[in-house]
Amino acid sequence: MASGNGSNFEAIVQAVQSGRLGADIPLLVVNNKNCGAHQRADRFGIHVEVVDHRGFPNREALDRQLVGLFQSHQVDVVVMAGWMRIVTDVLVDAFPERLVNIHPSLLPSFRGLDAVGQALQAGVSISGCTVHIVTADLDAGPILAQAAVPVLPADTHASLSGRVQKQEHVLLPATLQQNAHRWRQG
């Protein structure tokens, strides 16, 4: 699932193609037909479904649609790689311990939107990224892995975001591979 540029999605695809991640990607779900993730999926020949959240009366209805879509494609694990929507129990309960997110902070610090901006505002010296299991509580599920990134005195939002994202591209596929056994046994 992606909403934006799709660089984490591409990192997963490249990890699969190189053999670093033993997985199949049956589809990518985006909520914006013009997002970069959609274009990346087209380039890799991966099926894309556009599920525009604006066409649903509430989050639960959106998540019911997503669950049906994932089940129809026999998805075992759902990865939120820049899905900029809060999910509900409908999706969480359909994929217990199988809904994974990448977040651009060292959780539990700086949950929610603009974690990089929050870190800069707080003046921390270390930021980073976290791969975690999604639960009903925003960015509060069990942590699977983290990578630290130093915050430099001259950092801007763009420079820190860029360094954090480089770590995300390594951490997310590696964490999926390291935890694959838990989903095979489930």
CA dist 21 and 12 (Å) reads: 8
In CATH, 7-180 is 3.40.50.170? yes
pLDDT tens-place string over residues 65-83: 999 999 999 999 999 998 9
pTM equals 0.95
Domain layout of the chain by residue ranges: 7-180
8: pLDDT strictly greater than 60: yes
CA distances from 143 to 46, 97, 146, 162, 171 (A): 29, 11, 8, 22, 12
**Confidence class for position 182, pLDDT limits 50, 70, 90:** confident
184: pLDDT strictly greater than 80: no
pLDDT tens-place string over residues 100-142: 999 999 999 999 999 999 999 999 999 999 999 999 999 999 9
Q: Provide mean pLDDT across the span 168-175.
A: 98
Catalytic residue, chosen from 38, 103, 132, 169, is 103
CA dist 124 and 91 (Å) reads: 34
153: pLDDT strictly greater than 80: yes
**Does the active-site annotation cover 103?**
yes
